[in-house]
Amino acid sequence: MSGMSVGFVGLGAMGRGMAGSLVRAGHRVRVWNRSPEPVRELVAGGATAADGPADVFACDVVVSMLANDDAVEGLLLDPELLAAARASVHVNMATISVELAERAAALHAEHGVGYVAAPVLGRPEVAAAGELNILVAGEAALLERVSPLLTAMGRRTWHFGDRPVLANTAKISANFLLACAIESLAEACSLAEANGVRPTDLVEMLVGTLFPGPVYSGYGSMVAERRYEPAGFRLPLGLKDVNLALTAGAAANVPLPFGSVLRDAFLDALAHGDGDKDWAAVAAVSRRRAGLPA
């Protein structure tokens, strides 16, 4: 189904690269964003500007990449919008709460619009290259219909079942683990530095032995070098995801002891003015606890 008519909502750091991948794949992409500059960029690359969410939902398929529950609910879960939609399916690629995921699926079904959850793993540069890992769940027929779009945006699609909420649960769990990895890297680097070992040397050894792969190499170098800008994933979004995990855990009676530590560390970082930095800047909290220089 190449050349599909696609409405795209949310052109932030991730969304603009994802929409660009759809344009390059030959789809007819109609874009909308609350701030106009990303729209102008995409239009210059071959997209069309939409007049608003209703215009987006006039396309065959809607893809959205918004920041949080409030943005998704405020912009896209309007019953009037869904009742008037011509789109056959909405692919929601945001990281949202389990509760909202369930409610969004029910509301779309009520108004006859298909609904697929497809949150992603990857930073903005990965999105721009069309190399995301996409975690997807929804009805099989809907997944088949949107598979060309997912292929254009990602290097691999991971299937989690026919209930959209399952993809959101998997994404929350993955981001919780990422936050734990960043915190453990920060603590290990602080321990090493306080005892005379250069954090960069420690991370080089860890990546070459115990922990190969993008998480420890990417975030490890950021932590060891204290390199938190430019922000690929802003610190407040990290706090949001930790809170999503804590809320999902409480609802299912799953204790997440590390989650409480992470939440307080992120709040500490925000209180010290690091809100515009990458979420790896939570490592500065570990340094302060250890009495190491900022």
Indicate which residues carry an active-site annotation: 171
Q: For residue 135, is it left (φ>0), alpha (ψ between -120 and 50) or beta?
A: beta
d(CA 52, CA 11): 13
Q: Classify the phi-psi angles of 65: left when phi > 0, otherwise alpha if psi is within -120 to 50, otherwise beta.
A: beta
Three-class secondary structure of residue 96 per DSSP:
coil
- CA dist., res. 18 & res. 26, Å (int): 13
Distance between terminal CA atoms of the chain?
53
Structure tokens at 135: 């975690």
Could you tell me which residues are beta bridge partners of residue 127?
Answer: none
